[in-house]
A and B are shown apart, each in its own frame.
Chain A
């Protein structure tokens, strides 16, 4: 089993729709969790950190379920500019960030 698993997609979603991604991790000792987005041929950029209490940033909501070892990302009112690959990232507490395979999202006009 991979350390961090995501559905690779692609997700093709109409503009304005709501889309949700899940990510599961295998190591229960994992300490911190993040969502990054990566545009084609660009570097990964931090979208948001994920806290146990859940957190929201505008149209984006991230949640963590430690008991089930999964992280979710919800995007509301999706925009064309949201088209990207979304990477789930987990830190086990040893400075080693482990990336999921990424979920490719395309927003359709």
Chain B
């Protein structure tokens, strides 16, 4: 079983709603990631946090706002999303060393109506 836990597993939200996705890992990993995956496409990187600091933002629209309260937690705050933002949102973590693999949570399947 995955050691990266994401909540909720499913989320339906309106375009005017504000919601948050949560991710937690207890593997002592120092890097945490948010990916977005559309159907039949590979995951696309959104954000990377390294040692609790934002290190990579892949030009993601400001309606997505990441937050890393501590080394175990990663949030993604959502506001004023569009229907095309509907996707599987995956959280991952790694030791942060360039040669180590990343482990993924089960994802949050988001539908924007």
Contact partner of A43 (CB less than 8 A), chosen from B33, B99, B100, B104, is B104
Known A95-B56, A97-B33, A102-B42; judge A45-B99 contact (CB<8 A).
no
The answer to whether A43 and B50 touch across the interface, beta carbons within 8 angstroms, is no
Known A43-B90, A102-B42; judge A95-B96 contact (CB<8 A).
yes
The answer to whether A99 and B106 touch across the interface, beta carbons within 8 angstroms, is no
Which chain A residue lies CB-closest to B58?
A: A96
Contact partner of B106 (CB less than 8 A), chosen from A43, A46, A95, is A43
Bin the interface of chain A by size. 20 to 34
The answer to whether B96 and A87 touch across the interface, beta carbons within 8 angstroms, is no
A72 within 8 A of B: no
Q: A95-B48, A98-B45 are in contact. List 18 more A-B contacts (CB 8 A).
A: A31-B98, A31-B99, A41-B88, A43-B104, A43-B105, A44-B90, A45-B2, A46-B103, A91-B98, A93-B98, A94-B98, A95-B56, A95-B96, A96-B45, A96-B48, A96-B56, A97-B45, A97-B92
